[in-house]
Amino acid sequence: MNETIKLLQNHRTYRQFDPHYQLPNDQLQAILDAARQAPSWMNGQAYSIIVIDDPAIREQLVRWNPGNPHIAASSVFLLFLADLQRTKQVAEAKSTPYRIDEGYQPLLIATTDASIALQTAAIAAESLGLGTVISGSVRKDSRKIAELLDLPAYVYPVAGLSIGKPIVDMAVKPRIPEAAVIHYNGYQPYTYDVIDAYDETMTAFGEARETKSWSDKFAGFYSHVPDQGFDQFLKDQHLAK
């Protein structure tokens, strides 16, 4: 097995970082260059990355996300944005309509592009012996983050990436059994026993931050109405009607 596959199969999330460790500029640049080389739909590259190394900004982000102190303790925090402002400029330059608020496809395109770039950055960072953690919770503060970071219309946060030197080792977290995830030549049904088995596996894994079983956690999460504030933010950003 080659080193890249070993790296991918041994991914783990790190949340405790050495707050005094400084990420070398050449390594940061290498991570950013790798992210920018990530594939995107039609080479549209509908994303942007904000490098946040200002301690004051990162402390503010933690005040909004107190459950994610790693945003401040890591060496750098990268915010990945779905960016449809760039193609808005293209539409204006070409004097063509810009009708992205009339369907969901543009949002999926930009979100996917940003997500692939983020994952590429995480892999690049881990290949350098660094630790990473992805923060999707930034979306709940989209409006405040937009004001703090001067995000223009047609742009929204997708997720953040903390990068740093880990100070606590982490075990590789078990994944949902292959029977429920991998399908060949069509979607293949599976029994709920697979989910029960995964609950038992995760309970035995004993991650301290998890207070509920996997199934209870997501049954509870999806029992609530989705974040209406984010929906309104997308409308205010001219991305939805």
Q: What is the tens place of the pLDDT at every residue in 46-65? A: 999 999 999 999 999 999 99
Find the helix or strand (DSSP H, E) in which 157 lies.
Answer: strand 155-164
Predicted confidence (pLDDT) per residue in 139-187, tens digit: 999 999 999 999 999 999 999 999 999 999 999 999 999 999 999 999 9
pLDDT band at 84 (very low <50, low <70, confident <90, very high): very high
pLDDT at 210 over 90: no
pLDDT band at 125 (very low <50, low <70, confident <90, very high): very high
Q: Name beta bridge partners: 133.
A: 162
Closest CA to 79 of 110, 55, 111, 114: 114
Query: What are the start-end ranges of the H helices in 53-102?
Result: 55-64, 70-73, 85-94
Q: Give 56: exposed, middle or buried? Use CB within 10 Å, 0-12, 13-18, 19+.
A: exposed
For 3-14, b where at least 16 C-beta lie within 10 A, e where not — what string? eeeeeeeeeeeb
All structural domains of the chain, each given as residue ranges with its CATH number in brackets, are 3-172 (3.40.109.10)
DSSP 82: E
What pTM was computed for the model? 0.95
Predicted confidence (pLDDT) per residue in 21-42, tens digit: 999 999 999 999 999 999 999 9
Cβ–Cβ < 8 Å for 114, 80: yes
DSSP 233: H
Cβ–Cβ < 8 Å for 17, 164: yes
What tokens were used for 202? Answer: 């995760």
Cβ–Cβ < 8 Å for 48, 197: no
Q: Name beta bridge partners: 52.
A: 77
What is the pLDDT at residue 1?
78
What is the pLDDT at residue 47?
98
Calpha distance 203→215 (Å, rounded): 11
Show the 3-state SS of 37-49: CCCCHHHCCCEEE
Calpha distance 157→138 (Å, rounded): 7
What is the pLDDT at residue 163?
98
Cα–Cα–Cα angle for 195, 169, 5, rounded to 5 degrees: 65
